[in-house]
Amino acid sequence: MSITRTLGEFIIEHQNHFPHASGDLSSLLGSIKLAAKIVNREINKAGLVDITGSVGAENVQGEEQQKLDLYANDKFKAALEARGQVCGIASEEEDEAVSFNKELNKNAKYVVLMDPLDGSSNIDVNVSVGTIFSIYHRVSPIGSAPTAEDFLQPGHKQVAAGYIIYGSSTMLVYTTGKGVHGFTYDPSIGVFCLSHEKMMIPATGSIYSINEGNYIRFPTGIKKYIKYCQEDAPEDNRPYTSRYIGSLVADYHRNLLKGGVYLYPSTQRHPDGKLRLLYECNPIAFLMEQSGGKATDGYQRILDIKPTELHQRVPFVVGSTIMVEKVESFLQQYPD
């Protein structure tokens, strides 16, 4: 039986790729790995214990919180605070940024932004869900409490980003700006093993991922692109295949491996889109660019957008470069 490298071994081997390497980033990723194992264990219990369903409250975006949303948020927050590499976090499930006040954390170099459990409403129907994380160097003075400016940095300032997908197998995929690497969890020995090194998305594909139930509310350019996918795409790929799970991590992961485009455009009801720039779009865009693809809001590069608030939303188009550019061309041709 061949022996592969574990996530821990791989991170240590590649520390020299990171210009500020001192072991802190490796330890931080180790904290994320630990929390992922704990959340994975609870997700695998879904249906056996009372951990699915709503808690009867809403988050700051007005969305109903699921029990596992709060569980995952608490576990990742605790793991990130414990080792002292993070001075604070921002989360989709927190109204405001959270400052870690231990002396150890005040001297930390990093802040983390996260969606602790993307697609959590799918848990009770056994559909893949995920965790998305984004890591930045703080810009406030070390030794002080983190400030809003630490969290409101454009995506191109990320030093690392990644996601964990909890599905038929559990995978952790991450980048530090030197390619995208995937690790599959082996529950028999409790480690993440390297399974997908230097992941690259095909330049084009035949999958488009969008919630077509909102079709009537889409901009004209998006409607025209959907028609193109169904009727006018290149003959060897026509018609494109529509695949939409409703869990960003799952839809993105499939398209990364097979080639495709994911769209969550503006709608009449949500003119700024629905996905969060800081917790979802920036980390996914960083990963996509590192794997050879493209991510935009339909008009500009996601990683160049300067955030103005923690829970800011933006339209999102991400995937194979040729397909994303085709979406952009339709939006330019049919401005609403």
Beta bridge partners of 112: 89, 135
117 marked as binding residue? yes
Tell whether 206 is in a known binding site: no
Task: Find out whether 120 is annotated in a ligand binding site.
Answer: yes
Cα 6 to Cα 194: distance, rounded to the nearest angstrom: 6
What are residue 6's DSSP bridge partners? 193
Tell whether 306 is in a known binding site.
no
Q: Which of 15, 52, 2, 6 is nearest to 33 (CA)?
A: 6
Please tell me whether 211 is known to bind a ligand: yes
The dihedral over CA atoms of 8, 10, 14, 20, expressed in degrees to the nearest 10, equals: -20
Flag whether 31 is marked binding: no
**304 assigned ligand-binding residue:** no
Q: Tell whether residue 264 is among the known ligand binding residues.
A: yes
Q: Is 274 one of the annotated binding-site residues?
A: yes
- Whether 121 has a binding-site annotation, put simply, is yes
Q: Residue type for 66, please?
A: Q
118 annotated binding-site participant? yes
50 is in an annotated binding site: no
311: number of Cβ within 10 Å: 17
Annotated binding site for substrate, which residues?
A: 118-121, 211, 244, 262-264, 274
Annotated binding site for Mg(2+), which residues?
A: 92, 115, 117-118, 280
Annotated binding site, which residues?
A: 92, 115, 117-121, 211, 244, 262-264, 274, 280
